[in-house]
């Protein structure tokens, strides 16, 4: 902060040491602080710091904070001052703020009322140019795909520039010298100052509205050279957007070749100077006329060459026989036509004769074949076959029944129940139900179950003894033994139950060891 020395006090200013005040109200103390600050500080101070918490309001005013590594200062910038800024303040930007220090009594704090704001290390205009350039670049306003081509032969050109500057004279003089037959419309605007942006935007929009009515084909927007401040109106965002939205191709001619503005980048074509803009807008009339004369000469020569070629072609055609002697050509064509007619009739006659012979042969073969006779014979054979079919089926059925009866008789002969009815028995282990087929398979004291034709009974194998009166061998384990004590004839009471059957049960369903029947060698009836 620049201004008066920091060690300057109220006593040094007034030469009177103030008495210790009594109790003060808040308003009184705030006024004393404000008066002290006003007395100690100059009317305008400049402060260096970083912008923080920049908050523009809808009214146009802006509030922000300037800070360094040890302190911070509240700042206010009124709307009329904000509108004059060439750049957009951003948080973190180091600036120099110039203004007056005062106390805001309602909140009891002091703040800086900023009159001017400049970035540190770079000019405000340069910073504003960079910010707007990056913004429009991201939006695609510089994209070459949006550039409109200039008309080759414009009829009316509108010039947006100052009516009193050298630029308008250079543009008009250059255009009229190169193409005197053109129509020029000069739209006067201010090209620098506070109202310049508004004038330029309004002129561009007006020309676009009257494009069809006035037949405007091209627009030149520009001014002469000057400082960056003088050219700044063409670096404003409204001018750039108006040029981009123009339906008429725009040539930008601002300053000299070294000067580059945002309008130059957005325009369809950039001219280095106003004179160059006039050269880009129109061609030289004498050059165009010379070019037209040259093209006319080439066209005449080409037409003459083409006519000569057709003339020679016509003469060659006239020498053709068909043109020189059309009647002879017709006679030749007539003879050819007669010959072709005779050949056609001959070929047709030969074809029809051959087809007639083939048709006669087919008719003769059809008569020999007689499909109706063949159909009658086939129907007769079918009826005979149908009459024999029931007899053949009945004979085959009788043969199968005879075979079935023979197999049933053999099956009955193998029925174990018939063997039991002749006095034989079947003996099993009463505990396991296993069939006993030899005396060596039993042991003394073993319980056995014996099945007869009328039922079953259980018994115990007696130990071996002397030969019985019947003459049974003494070494047989299965000596005769009576029924078990308490035993009975009937189903066994111990061991696995044995399958039983009723008198009408099929013998083939018994779980007995049955030998397979002998192979039947009886010849089978044919199928």
pTM as predicted? 0.46
How far apart, in Å, are the Cα atoms of 456 and each of 3, 462, 506?
142, 19, 19
Confidence of residue 466 (pLDDT cuts 50, 70, 90): low
Cβ neighbours, 10 Å, residue 165:
16
Q: Rounded mean pLDDT of 250-255?
A: 94
Residue 143 and residue 273 in one domain: yes
Contact 444, 459 (CB under 8 A): no
140 and 244: one domain? yes
Tokens (6 digits) for 435 = 């069939």
Q: Which of 101, 121, 141 is the last residue of a domain?
A: 121
Please give the pLDDT value at position 526: 41
Split at pLDDT 50, 70, 90, the class of 330 is confident
Q: Are residues 98 and 179 located together in one domain of the fold?
A: no
Q: What is the pLDDT of residue 271?
A: 94
Which of 68, 87, 121 is where one domain is finished?
Answer: 121
**pLDDT score recorded for residue 334:** 86
* Three-state DSSP class for residue 41: coil
pLDDT for 512 beyond 50: no
In the prediction, which pLDDT does 123 show? Answer: 63
What's the average model confidence in pLDDT over 95-113?
Answer: 87
Q: What average pLDDT is seen over the chain?
A: 81
Q: Are residue 46 and residue 146 in the same domain, yes or no?
A: no
Which region among 17-21, 208-212, 231-235, 472-476 has the lowest average model confidence (pLDDT)? 472-476
Question: Is 278 inside a domain boundary?
Answer: yes
Determine the Cα–Cα distance for residues 493 and 449; give it in Å rounded to an integer.
Answer: 10
Position 29 scores a pLDDT of 87
Per-residue pLDDT, 193: 87
Q: How far apart are the C-alpha atoms of 427 and 434, rounded to whole Å?
A: 9
For 270-324, what is each residue's pLDDT tens digit? Answer: 999 999 999 999 999 999 999 999 999 999 999 999 999 999 998 888 887 777 7
Convert the pLDDT of each residue in 346-401 to its tens digit.
999 999 999 999 998 888 887 777 777 778 888 898 999 988 889 889 999 999 99
CATH number at residue 169: 3.40.50.10550
Give the end of a domain, one of 283, 315, 336. Answer: 283
371 domain residue, yes or no: no
Question: Exposed (0-12), middle (13-18) or buried (19+): which is 113, by Cβ within 10 Å?
Answer: middle
Q: What is the CATH number of the domain that holds 84?
A: 2.40.50.140
Instruction: Give me the pLDDT at residue 205, please.
Output: 96
- Say yes or no: 83 and 190 in one domain: no
Regarding whether 194 and 64 lie in a shared domain, the answer is: no
pLDDT digits 0-9 by tens, 196-206: 999 999 999 99
Residue 248 has pLDDT above 90, yes or no: yes
Is residue 161 within 8 Å of residue 171, measured between CB atoms?
yes
Element (H, E) at 109: strand 109-119
- pLDDT of 217 strictly over 50: yes
Q: What is the mean pLDDT of residues 486-512?
A: 41
Neighbour-count burial for 46-59, b at 16+ CB within 10 Å, e otherwise:
ebebbbeebeeeee
pLDDT, average across residues 246-257: 93
Instruction: Summarize pLDDT for 338-348 with one digit per residue, the tens.
Output: 999 999 999 99
Q: Which of 258, 251, 239 is CA-nearest to residue 278?
A: 251
Q: Indicate whether 133 and 113 sit together in one domain.
A: no
pLDDT band at 506 (very low <50, low <70, confident <90, very high): very low
pLDDT of 241 reads 96
Residue 477: pLDDT over 70: no
Q: Is 92 in the same domain as 179?
A: no
Residues 228-245: tens digit of each pLDDT: 888 989 999 999 999 999
Domain membership of residue 49 as a residue range: 10-121
- The arithmetic mean of pLDDT across residues 207-230, rounded, is 92
pLDDT at 511: 38
């Amino acid at each position: 902060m620049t201004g008066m020395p920091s060690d300057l006090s109220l006593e040094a200013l007034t030469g009177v040491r103030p008495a210790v005040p009594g109790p003060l109200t808040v308003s009184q103390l705030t006024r004393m602080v404000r008066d002290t600050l006003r007395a100690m500080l100059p009317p305008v101070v400049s402060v260096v710091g970083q912008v923080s918490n920049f908050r523009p309001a809808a009214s146009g005013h802006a509030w922000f904070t300037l800070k360094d590594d040890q302190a911070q200062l509240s700042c206010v910038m009124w709307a009329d001052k904000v509108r004059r800024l060439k750049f957009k303040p951003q948080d973190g930007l180091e600036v120099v703020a110039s203004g007056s220090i005062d106390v805001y009594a309602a909140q009891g704090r002091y703040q800086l009322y900023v009159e001017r704001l400049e970035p540190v290390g770079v000019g405000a205009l340069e910073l504003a140019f960079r910010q707007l350039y990056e913004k429009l670049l991201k939006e695609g306003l510089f994209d070459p795909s949006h550039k409109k081509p200039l008309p080759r032969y414009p009829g009316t050109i509108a010039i947006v520039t100052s009516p009193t500057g050298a630029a308008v004279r250079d543009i008009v003089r250059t255009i009229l010298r190169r193409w005197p037959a053109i129509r020029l419309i000069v739209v006067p605007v201010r090209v620098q100052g506070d109202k310049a942006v508004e004038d330029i935007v309004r002129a561009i929009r007006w020309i676009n509205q009257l494009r069809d009515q006035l037949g405007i084909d091209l627009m030149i927007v520009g001014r002469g050279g000057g400082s960056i401040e003088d050219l700044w109106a063409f670096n404003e965002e409204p001018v750039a957007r108006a040029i981009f939205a123009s339906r008429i191709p725009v040539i930008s001619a601002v300053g000299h070749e070294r000067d580059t503005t945002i309008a130059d980048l957005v325009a369809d074509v950039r001219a280095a100077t106003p004179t160059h803009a006039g050269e880009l807008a129109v061609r030289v009339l004498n050059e165009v006329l010379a070019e037209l004369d040259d093209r006319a000469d080439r066209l005449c020569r080409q037409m003459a060459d083409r006519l000569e070629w057709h003339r020679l072609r016509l003469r060659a055609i006239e020498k053709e026989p068909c043109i020189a002697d059309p009647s002879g050509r017709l006679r030749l064509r007539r003879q050819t036509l007669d010959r072709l007619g005779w050949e056609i009739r001959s070929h047709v006659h030969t074809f029809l004769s051959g087809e007639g012979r083939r048709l006669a042969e087919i008719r003769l073969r059809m008569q020999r074949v007689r499909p109706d006779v063949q159909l009658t014979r086939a129907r007769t054979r079918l009826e005979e076959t149908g009459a024999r079919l029931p007899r053949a089926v009945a004979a085959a059925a009788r043969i199968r029944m005879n075979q079935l009866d023979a197999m049933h008789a053999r099956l009955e002969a193998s029925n174990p129940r018939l063997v039991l009815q002749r006095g034989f028995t079947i003996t099993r282990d009463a505990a396991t139900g296993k069939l006993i087929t030899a005396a060596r398979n039993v042991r003394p004291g073993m319980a056995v179950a014996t099945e007869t034709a009328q039922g079953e009974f259980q018994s115990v194998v007696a130990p071996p003894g002397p030969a019985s009166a019947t003459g049974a061998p003494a070494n047989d384990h299965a000596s005769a033994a009576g029924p078990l004590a308490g035993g009975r004839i009937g189903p066994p009471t111990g061991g696995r139950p044995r399958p039983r059957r009723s008198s009408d049960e099929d013998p083939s369903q018994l779980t007995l060891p049955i030998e397979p029947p002998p192979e039947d060698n009886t010849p089978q009836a044919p199928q």
